[in-house]
Each structure stands twice: as structure tokens, then as C-alpha cells.
Amino acid sequence: MRDVDGKVAFITGGGSGIGLGMARVFSANGMKVVIADIRQDHLDAAMAEFRRTNAAVHPIRLDVTDRAAMAAAADETEAVFGKVHVLCNNAGINLFNDMAEASYDDWDWVMGVNLGGVINGVKTFIPRIRAHGEGGHIVNTASMASIISGSAGIYTASKFAVRGLTEALRWSLAPHGIGVSVLCPGLVKSAIYESDLIRPDSLSRERAPVNAEFTARLAEIHQSGMEPDEVGEKVLRGIRNNDLFIFPHPEFKEEVREIFEEILSFMPEGEADPKRLIFEEGRRKMKADAKAAMARNPVR
């Protein structure tokens, strides 16, 4: 989607961090932007900034796990700015605890926000984008943790799922002129280390203890992260180029290469059963057809 001037973007987790960086960049490039966030303090701080510039930005307080609230936010967005063209499913949380210590409540919370929030955004907005017929773009925020597994196991599982969902969605929407990207950032200046502050009371029955000293260290570490506006610039470039992957951080390239080379090293040698190849060739053809449809119907 090369021309973004006047287009409408809806960004979850838009009150701070990467979401706010995207909102600033989109707004500076002529877009109308809704920032949706569960934290009212983040929305208030962001809007104080945007009001100084008279930017076309509208705040909505939103819990992305609430499907009815997501639908209401979509209705409000259309009432304020009109048809949505860009959806950024960016809201995310993290638990920096050992996977073996995680409770079912921990799993339900992280998966509900990081994966469920993306599902709810996709389910709510894609029919609306398809219906207006003007094209659009979806950006789902995963993480480098969607490729490089780490010790934050639930977070890693959720981000691997977001990456898989996004890649499949890209081929599904290609014939409709809607682009899809997965954003895989590394360390960014954000408040994700404060995730436990917004944990719902309903999911607090079983929880691992929060290490205050470790949290303070995480806050310090995140201050050395990439500036959110730099990520936002790279996201906008990815939207304009209809890139499948948006990798803001260059420091992971060799590690990713090593991971995929290691994966290939475990692949067996030999000839495949021809009966299986019939199925696999059909699957490959479906993907090739989707790519061809994308070439015939480029995102607008």
C-alpha cells in the first residue's frame, strides 16, 4: 500500500512503545490513527503529545481479549474516521518467569493477549476491510522470539503462533489486495517489563512471584532498546513494500542463518514416496497461485 495519506490505521497497544512509535510515524505521513490501549495512563500521555500537534489521532481504551469491546472499538473508529485500511495487532505482554513455574493462569493470560488479541483483531477488522474494497494492510507484531526461542517460554510460544498465523493469513488475503506483514522486533524502549501491572484479577489466583530486583534490571535494559519511532518508520516502509517480514534489528541476521542451517541439517536425505508428493505438490501449487494472485492484484 504505497499511498497512505488520508488512510485510517487502528493500532492496539498504541499508547506506548512500538505502538506509539507507529502512531507517530503514521500520523506524520498523513494517516488518521486510532490508538487502542488497556492502560489509560498511557493513552492520556500519548494524547497530550498528539494534541499539541493537532494530529488526527483518537484514543480508545481496549482490552484486546474482549471480543465485544474489539467490535465496539471498530464501530467507534469508523464513526470517528471512516473505513479502516491498516490494522496493527501490536498489543503484547510478557512474563519473565521460568516456564516450569508457570501456572495455567499464566498461560491463559499471555496466550489470551498475545495470540488471542491478534485473532480478535483479525476476526473483527478483516471483513470490514474486505467489504470496502479499497485494499489495506495487516501488521501483526510477533518478536524475534518467534524465530529465536528464549527462556520466556509462554511468550515465545505465543509469538511463534503469531508468526504462523500471519504467514498463513498473507496467502489467504493475497487475492483480495490486502497485504500482511509480521513484525519481528528485538529490544525496543517499551514498558513491556511492567506487564504484571495490568494482569486481570480473574487470572491472579495462581501466579509465580514477581522478582522486583529483576524487574528493575529489565527496566534498565529496555532503556537501551531501539527507539519506537525508528521501528515505526520501518513498519511503514514494510507496509509500502508489502513485505512479509519486517525485521527492524540487524543484529540477529547471523543467528537466524545459523538456526535455519541447523534445521536443514536435521532434514533426512532420500527420495519421498510419490503418493505423498502428490499432496505436497498440490500444497505448493496453492501457495504459488496465491503469490501469482498477489502479483496480479497488488495491495492498494
What are the phi and psi torsion angles at 269 (to 5°)? -90, 170
**Beta strands across the sheet bearing 57-61:** 57-61, 32-37, 8-12, 86-89, 136-141, 178-183, 245-246
**Distance of alpha carbon 204 from alpha carbon 103, whole angstroms:** 10
From its phi and psi, is residue 84 left (phi > 0), alpha (psi between -120 and 50) or beta? Answer: beta
Q: Is 104 a catalytic residue?
A: no
58: left (phi over 0), alpha (psi -120 to 50) or beta: beta
Q: Say which of 50, 81, 125, 155 is annotated catalytic.
A: 155
Q: Dihedral through CA 170, CA 174, CA 180, CA 184, nearest 10?
A: 40
The sign of the CA dihedral 69, 72, 78, 81 is negative
Residue 130's CB is within 10 A of a number of other CB atoms, namely 15
| Strand segments (E) across the chain | 8-12, 32-37, 57-61, 86-89, 136-141, 178-183, 245-246
Select from 147, 126, 127 the least CA-distant residue to 137: 126
Separation CA 141–CA 145 (nearest Å): 11
Rounded Cα distance, 77 and 135, in Å: 17
Amino acid making up residue 281: E
Residues noted as catalytic: 155
